[in-house]
């Protein structure tokens, strides 16, 4: 595979993957540009037919196999997006595909993988455990293993994203790329440096799964003891060893992002761009505010958009709370007629919208002394929240902020 990750191979892969990809034109983000002081463009790979960029590497890798290797059957391990990429590519080649997925994989990714005709085996809590199982099955049945990231051919296919970025925005100065195991970052950074050695390519990892950052610090591939992040597509303990030298040579820096930042970024995408982007795909959006540059042309790669509705609902709720758009206060007041109406009047006077109200008469054994009400309200943001709390205090109440639960 030493001939992979060359300019000729990238050009070949760019033509081949056009058979299974949709055009994902850059989207200029006025909102994120104003927020960061840079010219921010989004590369919406969440709009691919399979919902993620992974079909690029899977299809190109399978195209390099012999017919005998394909007919033995293909197998891989994935948290979802590579699974769909392999399943779809295998179907196009008429090959059988078996996919091992962690038991924590969102249902939408499992069902979509099955919809392409693949057999799905659920095993382990994280990708690394699923991968070990996939290797066992490959050995047992003679399947051809398609690694999700630690394969130069797969990385070459992923790097076709950089070719498209340069075709649209030749003067791009920064590219932000998500990192799980490192295949996407390898392909994008290697091709980007071949096309323009002065460009900066920044990898972005979840703070709770920063295996590549730790590996670069020590100068060799390391395995994290555990991973903990809502970005399931990048929840990887060990980065790829075959592609690690390319990362060392071509990646300029790594930014880590906390889960709460991803939650807020999800709201930004939905409200300002009307796009659903999964948590791993949001890494590069959340990382924009960590860049210490201004007036640069920056491309954030949105790697995927496969998010199940239950996760989406949870993220939206948490995001509204983090943005002070929803909050809950606890107030104690005498249990007598008119008190609840008086509190409601104060809340209404400052245009707060009551979402939920709990009235607890048993907070005290002396109901005449105090009862508790908990009011969950919708606000316009932090300043409006402060105004509402201030109005309650001016009315003689002592509102205490508590964890909002819808």
Establish if 1 belongs to a structural domain. no
| Selected catalytic residue, list 39, 43, 54, 133 | 54
CA distances for 367 relative to 334, 338, 397, angstroms: 7, 15, 17
Q: How wide is the angle at C-alpha 359 spanned by C-alphas 354 and 364, nearest 5°?
A: 145
State whether 109 and 233 are in the same domain. Answer: no
- From 188, 152, 149, 396, select the one nearest 299 (Cα to Cα): 188
- Give the list of residues 6+ apart from residue 67 with CB closer than 8 angstroms, or none: none
Q: Are 177 and 189 in contact (CB under 8 A)?
A: yes
Question: What three-state secondary structure class fits 315?
Answer: helix
Instruction: Compute the distance between CA of residue 221 and CA of residue 214 in angstroms, rounded to an integer.
Output: 8
- From 352, 351, 369, 308, select the one nearest 111 (Cα to Cα): 308
Total domain count, the chain: 3
State whether 315 and 328 are in the same domain. Answer: no
| Selected catalytic residue, list 193, 300, 303, 385 | 303
Strand partners, 188: none
pLDDT attached to residue 372: 87
Given 278, 295, 319, which residue is the final one in a domain? 319
Whether 78 is a known active-site residue: answer no
CATH at residue 395: 3.30.70.260
State whether 348 and 359 are in the same domain. Answer: yes
Boundaries of domain holding 79:
55-145
Q: Are 260 and 282 in contact (CB under 8 A)?
A: no
pLDDT digits (tens), the chain, 406 positions = 458 999 999 999 999 999 999 999 999 999 999 999 999 999 999 999 899 999 999 999 999 999 999 999 999 998 778 999 999 999 999 999 999 998 988 787 888 899 999 999 999 987 788 989 999 999 999 999 999 999 999 999 999 999 999 999 999 999 999 999 999 999 999 999 999 999 999 999 999 999 999 999 999 999 999 999 999 889 899 999 999 999 999 999 999 999 999 999 999 999 999 999 999 999 999 999 999 999 999 999 999 998 888 888 888 888 999 989 999 999 988 877 888 888 999 999 999 999 998 877 666 555 555 788 899 999 999 999 999 999 999 999 999 998 876 6
CATH at residue 138: 3.40.50.1100
Given 273, 288, 319, which residue is the final one in a domain? 319
How much of the chain is helix, strand and coil, in % rounded to 5? 45, 20, 35
Whether 364 is a known active-site residue: answer no
Establish if 2 belongs to a structural domain. no
Q: How wide is the angle at C-alpha 401 spanned by C-alphas 399 and 406, nearest 5°?
A: 115
Instruction: Compute the distance between CA of residue 59 and CA of residue 118 in angstroms, rounded to an integer.
Output: 15
State whether 112 and 204 are in the same domain. Answer: no
Element (H, E) at 81: helix 81-93
């Amino acid at each position: 595979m030493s001939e992979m990750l060359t300019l000729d191979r990238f050009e070949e892969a760019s033509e081949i993957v056009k058979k299974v990809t949709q055009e994902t034109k850059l989207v200029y983000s006025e909102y994120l540009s104003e927020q960061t002081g840079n010219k921010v463009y989004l590369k919406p790979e969440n709009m691919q037919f399979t919902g993620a960029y992974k079909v690029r590497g899977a299809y190109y890798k399978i195209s390099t196999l012999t017919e005998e290797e394909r007919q033995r059957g293909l197998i891989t391990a994935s948290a979802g997006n590579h699974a769909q990429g392999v399943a779809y590519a295998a179907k196009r080649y008429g090959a059988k595909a078996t996919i091992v997925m962690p038991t924590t994989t969102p249902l939408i990714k499992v069902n979509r993988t099955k919809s392409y005709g693949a057999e799905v085996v659920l095993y382990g809590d994280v990708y690394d455990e699923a991968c070990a199982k996939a290797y066992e099955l490959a050995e047992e049945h003679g399947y051809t293993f398609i690694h999700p990231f630690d394969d130069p051919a797969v990385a070459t296919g992923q790097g076709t994203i950089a070719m498209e970025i340069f075709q649209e925005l030749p003067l791009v100065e920064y590219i932000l790329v998500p990192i799980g195991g490192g295949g996407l970052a390898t392909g994008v950074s290697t091709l980007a440096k071949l096309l323009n050695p002065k460009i900066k390519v920044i990898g972005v990892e979840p703070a709770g799964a920063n295996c590549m950052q730790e590996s670069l610090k020590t100068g060799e591939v390391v395995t994290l003891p555990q991973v903990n992040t809502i970005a399931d597509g990048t929840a990887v303990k060990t980065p790829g060893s075959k592609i690690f030298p390319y990362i060392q040579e071509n990646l300029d820096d790594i930014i880590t992002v906390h889960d709460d930042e991803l939650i807020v970024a999800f709201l930004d995408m939905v409200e300002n761009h009307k796009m659903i982007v999964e948590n791993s795909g949001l890494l590069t959006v959340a990382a924009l505010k960590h860049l210490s540059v201004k007036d640069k042309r920056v491309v954030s790669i949105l790697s995927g958009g496969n998010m199940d509705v239950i996760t989406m609902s949870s993220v939206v709720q948490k995001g509204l709370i983090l943005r002070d758009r929803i909050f809950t206060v606890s107030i104690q007041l005498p249990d007598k007629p008119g008190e609840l109406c008086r509190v409601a009047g104060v809340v209404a006077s400052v245009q707060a919208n009551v979402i939920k109200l709990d009235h607890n008469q048993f907070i005290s054994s002396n109901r005449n002394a105090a009862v508790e009400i908990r009011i969950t309200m919708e606000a316009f943001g932090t300043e409006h929240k402060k105004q509402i709390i201030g109005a309650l205090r001016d009315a003689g109440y002592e509102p205490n902020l508590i964890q909002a639960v819808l």
